[in-house]
Chain A
């Protein structure tokens, strides 16, 4: 995978996670307001559109997580060689995809987002 594309994806996923962070604060705020407000929040997040947003957020998290570790390794001076960079890019994508699938299929909240439960 080309380093340029992955680097832009790191920024895009980061920005997307920032936006989703505000959604998360809203969710927690609703929980603090009490069961009534929380019920509204649950209904909101249960819609198909929001479940797609949440699934994308989960994918973005895992991508940003592993890509971020790769960037930190670069900052520390490791893995700059072209062949190594290509290899770590593929490895990072595989880790992100596996973690995304695992959290989506094997956790209760993931299954809710995926519509499996």
Chain B
């Protein structure tokens, strides 16, 4: 828990913001993914290779990972106390940062034509 005044309400508001942003973004992405005729490599690479798709997928990934981080933080703050909380939060942040970097790299490679 942060000691800064207003940090809690800012976190609360930001969590609502990512929730609202994810309603259209996640719906679009899930339906688009599920509707692909197949999930062969060429289809997936081709789909993520398009400009709009790669842009929206990057946006979705960023908002989704932020939302995930926010949610896990709220749950951890409810059930974990003391030093363990700070350590767990750091671990979760590192994992999310790594996932964000991997996701960004993957979309970048696919959007620029793929490693093939």
Contact = CB atoms under 8 A, between A and B. Distances in A.
B71 A18 contact: yes
Nearest to B75: A11
A35 B116 contact: yes
A11 B45 CA distance: 33
Contact of A72 (B16, B95, B110, B114): B16
B114 A32 contact: yes
* Contact-residue bracket for chain B: 35 or more
Interface string B6-47: 000000000010011011001100110111111101001100
A75 interface: yes
A47 B39 CA distance: 15
A15 B16 CA distance: 17
A22 to B, nearest CB: 6
Contacts of B115: 32-34
Contacts of B41: 31, 34-35, 38-39
A32 B41 CA distance: 9
* Contact-residue bracket for chain A: 20 to 34
Given A72-B19, A109-B33, A32 B110 contact: yes
Given A18-B71, A25-B106, A65 B27 contact: yes
Contact of B105 (A21, A29, A39, A61): A29
Interface of A is mostly: helix
B114 to A, nearest CB: 7
Contacts of B99: 21-22, 25
Contacts of B34: 103, 107-110
A109 B39 contact: yes
30 contacts: A15-B72, A15-B75, A17-B68, A18-B68, A22-B95, A25-B99, A25-B102, A25-B103, A26-B102, A28-B103, A28-B107, A29-B105, A32-B110, A32-B114, A32-B115, A34-B114, A34-B116, A35-B41, A39-B41, A42-B39, A65-B27, A68-B23, A72-B19, A75-B16, A107-B34, A107-B35, A108-B35, A108-B36, A108-B37, A109-B35
The 8 closest A-B CB pairs, nearest first, are: A107-B34, A32-B106, A32-B109, A18-B68, A38-B41, A109-B34, A35-B41, A28-B106
